[in-house]
Amino acid sequence: MEIEGTPIDAARGGDAPTRERVARSILENGPSTAAALAERLDLTPAAVRRHLDHLMEEGAVEAREARVNGVRGRGRPAKAFALTEAGRDRFDQQYDDLAAQALRFLAETGGEGAVKEFARRRVSGLEADYRKVLDRKPELTDAEALAEALTQSGYAASVREGPVGEQLCQQHCPVAHVAHEFPQLCEAETEVISRLLGRHVQRLATIAHGDGVCTTCIPSTITPDSPARLSRQTRG
């Protein structure tokens, strides 16, 4: 286990690299308790708490009441630590302003249709990435394969069970700031997710609109002619 404050830590350039690991772990895995972070990063609990305190002082992380499955035990409820909007800014592309300016120009000169076409082209490569994952890991469900393809593109995506079907959770969105002004980017992404999985999916939350995670509901029913189903039949 890595112990902070040692010569090894100093040789690594101080606390900053480890603090970056803590923030990135929260980004990739969602709101996390100090205990979960310590185990995930092989750090001491005291070291994790120190980094979390520093990140909270910077306004990069905020504490929330952790979600509890089952009956809550005695004592104070555990806190989960989540990235704030300022914390996410650390990982966002440095060309957000330039991208927004380019899309404004496209909207002014080409109209709404041009922006929509750009948004569709931006996610057009997702299908090829998705099929490569399916071919490489046939044991994955269609939603899991899509999550891995999205993660490869910087979305830090995962799948969990939802009230109805599954939920695709994207802990990070590389275009969140631009998508806040141009929701066509989110709409095009939702369209391709729906088409690839062969189901009418529904966005429940988006980072672009201030939510902590982009959450998409994926119902259980799949259409017989969906790309996912046909791809598996072809391989079989």
Please indicate, yes or no, if residue 105 is contained in any of the structural domains: yes
Same domain, 175 and 221: yes
Same domain as 152, residue 47: no
Together in a domain, 74 and 113: no
Which pLDDT does position 170 carry in this prediction?
93
Question: Is 112 in the same domain as 228?
Answer: yes
Tell how many helices (H) and how many strands (E) occur in the chain.
11, 7
In sequence order, what are the residues at sequence separation of 6 or more whose Cβ sits closer than 8 angstroms to the Cβ of residue 164? Answer: 217, 219, 220
Asked if the structure places residue 48 within a domain, the reply is yes
Give the ranges where 123-226 is alpha helix by DSSP (H). Answer: 126-136, 142-152, 176-181, 184-197
Same domain, 133 and 211: yes
In a domain, 43, yes or no: yes
Domain annotation covers residue 2: no
- Which pLDDT score, from 0 to 100, does residue 5 have? 40
Please tell me the predicted confidence (pLDDT) of residue 8: 32
Q: From 51, 73, 89, give the residue that closes a domain.
A: 89
The pTM of this model reads 0.61
Does 142 fall in a domain?
Answer: yes
Domain span at residue 145 reads 96-235
Task: State how beta strands 32-33 and 79-83 pair.
Answer: antiparallel
Q: 66-102: per-residue pLDDT in tens?
A: 765 555 555 566 789 998 878 877 766 555 778 889 9
Q: Last residue of some domain: 69, 89, 109?
A: 89
15-39, pLDDT tens digit by residue? 778 898 999 899 888 899 999 999 9
pLDDT 10s digits, 132-154: 999 999 999 999 999 999 998 88
The mean pLDDT value for 109-117 works out to 95
Is the model more confident about 159 or about 165? 159
Q: What contacts 219, CB < 8 A, 6 or more positions away?
A: 164, 165, 199, 200, 201
On whether both 122 and 215 belong to a single domain, the answer is yes
Query: Do 63 and 171 fall within a single domain?
Result: no
- List the CATH number of the domain containing 79: 1.10.10.10
The pLDDT confidence band at residue 232, using thresholds 50, 70 and 90, is low
Domain C-terminal end among 89, 116, 137? 89
Residue 9, pLDDT score: 38
Closest CA to 27 of 80, 88, 79: 88
Stretch 53-69: mean pLDDT:
84
Q: Are residues 84 and 112 in the same domain?
A: no
Q: How high is the pLDDT of residue 131?
A: 93
Domain-embedded: residue 1: no
Chain-wide mean pLDDT for the chain? 83
Strand partners, 43: 2
Structural domain total, the chain: 2
Q: Check residue 222 and give its pLDDT.
A: 64
Q: Which of 25-29, 107-111, 196-200 is modeled with the greatest confidence?
A: 107-111
What is the pLDDT, as a whole number, of residue 75?
Answer: 55
From the list 207, 221, 118, 122, the residue with the least C-alpha distance to 171 is 207
Q: How many residues does the chain have?
A: 236
For residue 129, is it within any domain?
yes
Reported as half-sphere exposure (CB side, CA atoms, 13 A), residue 17 has a value of 10
Q: Residues 52, 153: one domain?
A: no
Q: Using alpha carbons only, what angle is made at residue 226 by residues 220 and 228, rounded to the nearest 5 degrees?
A: 80
Whether residues 12 and 118 share a domain: the answer is no
Determine what percent of the chain is predicted with pLDDT higher than 70. 80
Q: What HEC string does 22-88 produce?
A: HHHHHHHHCCEEHHHHHHHHCECHHHHHHHHHHHHHHCCEEEEECCCCCCCCCCCCCEEEEECHHHH
pLDDT at 186 over 90: yes
Assigned domain for 116 exists: yes
Same domain as 115, residue 21 = no
Does pLDDT of 1 surpass 80?
Answer: no
229 or 120: which carries more pLDDT confidence? Answer: 120
Judge if 128 and 218 occupy the same domain: yes
Question: Is the per-residue pLDDT at 65 higher than 50?
Answer: yes
- What's the average model confidence in pLDDT over 175-199? 92
